[in-house]
Copies of this chain bind each other. A is one copy, B any other.
Amino acid sequence: MKPYSQFTKEELIAEKDFLIKKYKEYQDLKLTLNMARGKPGADQLELSMPMMKLLQTAEECIDANGVDTRNYGELLGIKEARKLFGDVMGIKPEETIVVGSSSLTFMWDTMVRAMLLGVRGSEKPWSKYDKVKFICPVPGYDRHFTICETLGIEMIPVELTEWGPDMDAIRELVKDESVKGIWCVPKYTNPLGGCYSDEAVKALASMETAAKDFRIFWDNAYCVHYVYKDVPLLNMLEECKKAGNPDRVFMFGSTSKITFPGAGVGFFGASEENVEFIKNQITASAISWDKINMLRHVRFFKDVNGIHEIMAKHAEILRPKFDAVLNTLDEEIGPRGAGRWVKPEGGYFVTFIAEKGCAKRINLLCKEAGLSMTGAGATHPYHKDPDDAYLRIAPSFPEPSELKKAMDVFCIAVRLATVEKILDN
């Protein structure tokens, strides 16, 4: 097998004919396959079901500090939960807020409060500026971008590599006072699959920013979600403190992909001063979040080791699925030079970087053969991928046999789109 770039025109035409035939065979199967959504499979959900048997009596609903989790109170979360999820983030309970059932919602809330009220150290609410800009490493998470777009925050894409974003570009951008922050998914990045290097973390923590109230939205969604290997990540709050910028980072996480998506608990980490500041703001918006569910989680995990134990079981379930995706790409696409990808050590996604101008076409071919993928462009602000190259593969939800079929369709689509593109040029 040789790369398409070394094919003669005749070879390409023959390959195209072959691929069209193969593609039609798949179309005839009338498949309904889905690699669009980063949701856990049913076997993963099963891992947390023992939790549902906990907390059945009044006594069991009282936490270690005597708080009745069934009643109002404890705006920042019960102490045990703040300890547990603080441990997950590597920070103190006093630096931790345990919130509702979604970290995304708390990210939205945090941005909204910044817009309407400002963050600690703001001269004025961000919405009072003519323009607010956020740096968005790409490929990135579409829901981060939707938050900015909805709120009218201008997004500036910056290239993300396997080891972190383009720091030279970022250092230049943050000289602009209207650049108020950056979105980061530092570990098993969504969707590229890399991890921020120590250098990247330190650079973000220590760089000089024109905006005194610059914030890193550190969405550590996959902090304990290894599949192959637990990649070490520096503690961003620690690094910000060391660099003299303790208030710079807002850390987010949740148990959505540890226990139950949308029915777990979200958590937030920041300096104690930020936590105190935010506490005063959120007093207007909440009396307390669901403490029963917090305590249910605490009792189930016992401590941070309990979380790691569950995550090892998730990894066992996810590994064959990631294998299926990566092995198929290695076999079918690699030797043909029809795209590239980072092998993720964890997380929920593989990003396929197609030849320029092929992503939308691949997406359409997949769709018309019954395979749903995340839309091309979703990895970029305003859905604009200038190279039309990025596609997100989400292997977690389908059964392995379905996944194999889906990847076969995907690879045929990639090959066909690539050959078409070369022939067109």
- Contacts A56-B52, A150-B281 given: A101-B290 contact, CB under 8 Å? yes
Q: Does A116 contact B (CB under 8 A)?
A: yes
Chain B residues, CB < 8 A from A55: 52
Contact with B along A38-71 (1 / 0, CB 8 A): 0110100110010011011110010000001111
Q: Does A102 contact B (CB under 8 A)?
A: yes
Give the residue name and chain of the B residue nearest to A280 (CB): B150
Instruction: Tally chain A residues at the interface, Cβ within 8 Å.
Output: 55
B260 and A292 form a contact (CB under 8 A): yes
Q: Does A115 contact B (CB under 8 A)?
A: yes
A116 and B151 form a contact (CB under 8 A): yes
Chain B residues, CB < 8 A from A71: 39-40, 45, 260-262
> A17-25, A89-97, A104-112, A306-314: which one contacts chain B?
A104-112
Chain B nearest CB from A228 CB (Å) reads 24
Q: Does A82 contact B (CB under 8 A)?
A: no
Chain B nearest CB from A381 CB (Å) reads 14
- Contacts A49-B57, A57-B49, A71-B261 given: A290-B290 contact, CB under 8 Å? yes
Some 8 contacts from A to B, beta carbons below 8 A apart, are A45-B68, A69-B263, A100-B105, A102-B287, A105-B286, A143-B287, A150-B281, A262-B289
Known: A45-B68, A102-B286, A262-B290. 7 other contacts (CB 8 A): A42-B68, A45-B58, A52-B56, A100-B101, A100-B105, A100-B289, A263-B292
